[in-house]
Amino acid sequence: MIDLHVHLDGSIRQKTLEELFEGKLPDVSFYPNMGIQKALASFGITLSVMQELDRITRITHELCVDLTELGTSRAEIRFAPQLHCNGDIDSVVNAAVAGLKPKFNLILCGLYGEPPEVLDALVEAARTRPRVVGIDLAGSPLPEHKWGLMDYSRPFTEAMRVGLGRTVHAGEGRPSEEIKMAIENLHAQRIGHGLSVLGDRELVDLVREKKIHIEACPTSNIHTGCIEKFEYHPMKQWFKEEIRFSLCCDNVLLSNTWTAKEYFKARHLGGLSIPQQNQTQIWAKEALFS
């Protein structure tokens, strides 16, 4: 199986987190309807143990091993290197690359609210490293942020110019207009979550025309409160509308899920037939940045 959307800092091996965390480890597990902001805050615990280069290499390698054992043969693992080791992006990216197994690559994440210059640095780090295949805009926009989606157009345009893949967290419990802006102004080829894509018929046409791929993360969407139940995810309607998508785990540890588990639920709860599931994996292969 192929997973296009899995966060390194949300997918640390439980035993490794217990070993590296100083003090009594709080429960970091996501739960239904916790909300996006509470979910994002949970990453503070996992990030706290990822502030040394050798640990980043170890955690990256362990995730590749774990994903393989769970049936995921190819994945593009994403993380925000500026949040590690005092923001030494080059060293952190090199440490993560050193932990990769064959057929596993990296996507570098800028975060909503960060200065656009941070994403400029990520593009520069990615363009010289073959195992770094794309950039992402992750997290969630807040009213108090100085910079919004449109402010990241420059680094994403540069990413397109140098041949890097572009994906954006958009439409995750937010209006469909965000998805349209990500495609038209950030040149996104893939959209993370994209739950609101059906809210605008013109957007549906645009997504089909440009063959935009949606990285669907149903279990994560339940945890953030974007949908109430797995059955309510619009994947079945996406298929009818010929919107390309595949199922992704988002966070192995925090959401206690993995790619094959998402597909199992999609069959038994989401109403996707085996041929439809196979088609989404064909689309995933076509959407790989590597």
pLDDT, residue 229, reads 94
The Cα–Cα gap between 124 and 126 comes to 5
Cβ neighbourhood burial of 218 (10 Å; 0-12, 13-18, 19+): buried
The Cα–Cα gap between 9 and 54 comes to 15
pLDDT, residue 38, reads 86
pTM, two decimal places: 0.96
pLDDT in tens, 199-210: 999 999 999 999
pLDDT, residue 284, reads 98
pLDDT, residue 41, reads 81
pLDDT, residue 2, reads 98
Question: What residue ranges define each of the domains in the chain, with the CATH number in brackets?
Answer: 2-287 (3.20.20.140)
pLDDT in tens, 7-32: 999 999 999 999 999 888 999 999 99
pLDDT in tens, 135-145: 999 999 999 99
The Cα–Cα gap between 236 and 216 comes to 12
pLDDT, residue 22, reads 87
Which regions in the chain score pLDDT beneath 70?
none
